């Protein structure tokens, strides 16, 4: 199946079964805003819990908070978001479509990378076992030509971004011959800057109402609470503060479903360290976070690092963990060494000391910070895009199955009495009532059993429990596993033990 078709089917499936709906759908939707349905909210909550456990519960030196979305407007002055949270945008005069200029260039560069990967793939097939990738990519003339082209564009592009030279960014687009995908022309406007923060008024709508912003990241809520948490929690450096919450960005181009939204959720952790040790901790969190992603079982080959060459104004090292989404490798999590930029800026703007007294060194300092920042919605998308499968079974019939990792699945068990009579529903209810105290379960007695299995496959329920006449005699049920479709009989009392949802 073509990737585009796959993605369309996935989006349609999410809507059909209650994972994700377009926001305000009866009013024709609101661009780049989505609602999570009855199944989506369960999966989302499970992802949050999985992250929270890994970060807060398993690390004695990390605690969580939940700060407000509205914050003092000066916070965004201090953080640099008022002056520098801009995307360069460009319009095509013929199609009237708007694009992010940096994304146009980066997509062009990604295509060169794809060409290199294709050459490597071809050579791998040709040379078989004897293939040496490092040697091939450093000697093959075609690969070298692509690499050179890539490096040249990269150098020019990074310089233009660093100098904030919008004219040169446009010139790069023209020189590379990048065309608008809709009109196919190169008739571009100049590049302009556009601030991504949403603003609103707080207080009555008169002169003393002040402009406040919807937070574009959750991190600042952590920084401004740094001393509150450190003091009340008696935290010793190194320690971390974690938070899950909504963030808002007025994205210029909003597409690719829940990959780029205007209202989304982040799971962030700021780790406060002694100045001078930040690069060691950066390395530590880089590895740790990658391990966490890989442990999910979506396939190790679907993750890679993308180290940043052009660093944001606050960072001295940065990397993205990229995931192989249906539309290619894209950022799912950012890990940044933010130096003491944020705390120092808040110190300056608030006039309050934000320092830590280190008893071992017998001195005070503004701690340095390592940030791990992952998009909850992107994590959701990564899981469902690998889970969604259209399968043809041995008997020629077809099924759609969501192979969501069992511990994250919205429902853990489906309780299915074989018929609606003869005491089977009552027995099924008895089993349901026991299991539901511990697990999300769904009861279903409508339609033939095969059809019910298909419905559960489509929503990713790992186990179906079927209650039949034998159950009434010997208290055993059939347990059917989603992915293998294998079935066996077990005692009713062993159902919970049979399934392992631990993480």
Task: Report which of 170, 194, 104, 157 is spatially closest to residue 309, judged by C-alpha positions.
Answer: 157
CB of 51 to ligand ATP, least distance (A): 12
CB of 198 to ligand ATP, least distance (A): 12
Question: Can you tell me the distance from the alpha carbon of 351 to that of 20, in angstroms, rounded to the nearest whole number?
Answer: 45
CB of 345 to ligand ATP, least distance (A): 17
CB of 290 to ligand ATP, least distance (A): 14
CB of 268 to ligand ATP, least distance (A): 7
The total of other beta-carbon atoms located within 10 Å of residue 271's CB is 27
Residue-wise burial string across 397-408, b where 16 or more C-beta atoms lie within 10 A, e elsewhere: eeebbbbbbbbb
Question: Can you tell me the distance from the alpha carbon of 457 to that of 6, in angstroms, rounded to the nearest whole number?
Answer: 18
Dihedral of the CA atoms 140, 141, 143, 148 (nearest 10)? Answer: 130
- CB nearer to ligand ATP: give 377 or 444: 377
Is-cis flag, bond preceding 263, omega within 30?
A: no
Task: Report which of 404, 354, 301 is spatially closest to residue 17, judged by C-alpha positions.
Answer: 404
CB of 377 to ligand ATP, least distance (A): 5
Q: Give contact residues for ligand ATP (rule: CB under 6 A).
A: 217, 249, 251, 260-261, 264, 266, 331-334, 373-375, 377-378
Residue nearest to ligand ATP (CB): 375
- CB nearer to ligand ATP: give 378 or 480: 378
CB of 324 to ligand ATP, least distance (A): 14
> Using N-to-C axis directions, what is the helix angle for 166-175 and 141-162, rounded to 10°?
160
- CB nearer to ligand ATP: give 375 or 417: 375
CB of 249 to ligand ATP, least distance (A): 5
Bridge partners, residue 246, by sequence: 265
Question: Can you tell me the distance from the alpha carbon of 409 to that of 49, in angstroms, rounded to the nearest whole number?
Answer: 12
- CB nearer to ligand ATP: give 49 or 256: 256
CB 69 within 8 A of CB 215: yes
- CB nearer to ligand ATP: give 36 or 453: 36
Question: Can you tell me the distance from the alpha carbon of 363 to that of 361, in angstroms, rounded to the nearest whole number?
Answer: 5
Instruction: Kindly tell me the sign of the dihedral angle through the C-alpha atoms of 212, 218, 221, 224.
Output: negative
Q: Where are the alpha helices (DSSP H) in 298-405?
A: 341-350, 376-387
Question: Can you tell me the distance from the alpha carbon of 297 to that of 284, in angstroms, rounded to the nearest whole number?
Answer: 21
CB of 314 to ligand ATP, least distance (A): 11
- CB nearer to ligand ATP: give 338 or 482: 338
- CB nearer to ligand ATP: give 265 or 468: 265
The Cα diameter of the chain in Å comes to 80
Identify the residue whose tokens are 């003393």: 208
Apex 127 CA angle, 121 and 133, nearest 5: 55
- CB nearer to ligand ATP: give 374 or 479: 374
- CB nearer to ligand ATP: give 108 or 439: 108
- CB nearer to ligand ATP: give 113 or 331: 331
CB of 242 to ligand ATP, least distance (A): 14
Q: Are strands 210-213 and 476-481 parallel, antiparallel or unpaired?
A: unpaired
Task: Report which of 446, 444, 439, 437 is spatially closest to residue 462, judged by C-alpha positions.
Answer: 439
Identify the residue whose tokens are 């592009």: 157
Q: Which regions of 146-299 does DSSP assign to beta strands (E)?
A: 192-195, 199-202, 210-213, 239-248, 263-273
- CB nearer to ligand ATP: give 42 or 217: 217
CB of 301 to ligand ATP, least distance (A): 20
CB 101 within 8 A of CB 172: no
Question: Can you tell me the distance from the alpha carbon of 373 to that of 219, in angstroms, rounded to the nearest whole number?
Answer: 8
- CB nearer to ligand ATP: give 149 or 331: 331
CB of 116 to ligand ATP, least distance (A): 22
CB of 252 to ligand ATP, least distance (A): 10
Backbone φ, ψ for residue 36 (5° rounding)? -90, 130
Retrieve residue 106's tokens: 């980066």
- CB nearer to ligand ATP: give 260 or 286: 260
């Amino acid at each position: 199946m073509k990737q585009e078709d796959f993605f369309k089917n996935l989006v349609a499936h999410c809507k059909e079964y209650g994972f994700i709906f377009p926001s305000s759908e009866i009013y024709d939707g609101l661009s780049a805003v989505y609602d999570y349905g009855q199944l989506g909210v369960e999966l989302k909550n499970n992802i949050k819990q999985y992250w929270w456990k890994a970060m807060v519960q398993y690390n004695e030196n990390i605690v969580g908070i939940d700060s407000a979305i509205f914050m003092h407007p000066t916070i965004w002055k201090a953080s640099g978001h008022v002056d520098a949270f801009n995307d360069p945008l460009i319009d095509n005069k013929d199609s009237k479509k708007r694009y992010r200029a940096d994304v146009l260039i980066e997509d062009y560069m990604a295509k060169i990378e794809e060409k290199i990967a294709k050459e490597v793939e071809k050579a791998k097939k040709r040379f078989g076992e004897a293939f040496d990738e490092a040697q091939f990519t450093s000697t093959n003339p075609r690969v070298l030509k692509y690499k050179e082209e890539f490096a040249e564009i990269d150098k020019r592009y990074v310089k233009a971004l660093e100098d904030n030279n919008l004219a040169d960014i446009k010139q790069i687009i023209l020189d590379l011959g990048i065309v608008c995908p809709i009109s196919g022309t190169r008739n571009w406007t100049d590049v302009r800057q556009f601030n991504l923060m949403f603003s609103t008024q707080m207080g009555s709508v008169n002169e003393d109402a002040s402009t406040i912003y919807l937070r574009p990241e959750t991190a600042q809520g952590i920084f401004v609470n740094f001393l509150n948490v450190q003091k009340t929690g008696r935290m010793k450096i190194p320690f971390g503060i974690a938070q899950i919450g909504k963030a808002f960005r007025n994205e210029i181009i909003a597409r690719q479903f829940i990959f780029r939204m205007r209202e989304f959720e982040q799971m962030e952790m700021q780790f406060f360290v002694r100045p001078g040790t930040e690069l060691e901790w950066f390395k530590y969190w880089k590895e740790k976070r990658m391990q966490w992603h890989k442990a999910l079982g979506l396939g190790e080959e679907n993750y890679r690092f993308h180290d940043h060459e052009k660093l944001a104004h606050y960072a001295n090292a940065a990397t993205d963990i990229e995931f192989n989404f249906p539309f290619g490798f894209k950022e799912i999590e950012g890990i940044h060494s933010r130096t003491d930029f944020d705390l120092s800026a808040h110190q300056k703007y608030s006039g309050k000391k934000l320092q830590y007294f280190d008893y071992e060194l017998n001195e005070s300092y503004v701690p340095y910070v390592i940030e791990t920042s992952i998009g909850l919605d992107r994590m959701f998308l990564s899981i469902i895009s690998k889970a969604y499968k259209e399968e043809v079974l041995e008997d020629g019939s077809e099924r759609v199955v969501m192979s969501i990792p069992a511990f994250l699945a919205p429902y853990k068990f489906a309780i299915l009495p074989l018929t609606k009579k003869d005491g089977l529903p009552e027995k099924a209810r008895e089993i349901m009532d026991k299991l539901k105290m511990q697990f999300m379960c769904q009861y279903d007695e409508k339609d033939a059993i095969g059809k019910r299995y298909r419905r559960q496959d489509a929503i990713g329920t790992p186990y179906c429990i079927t209650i039949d006449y034998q159950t009434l005699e010997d208290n055993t049920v059939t347990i059917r596993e989603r992915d293998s479709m294998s079935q066996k009989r077990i005692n009713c009392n062993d159902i919970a033990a049979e399934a392992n949802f631990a993480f």
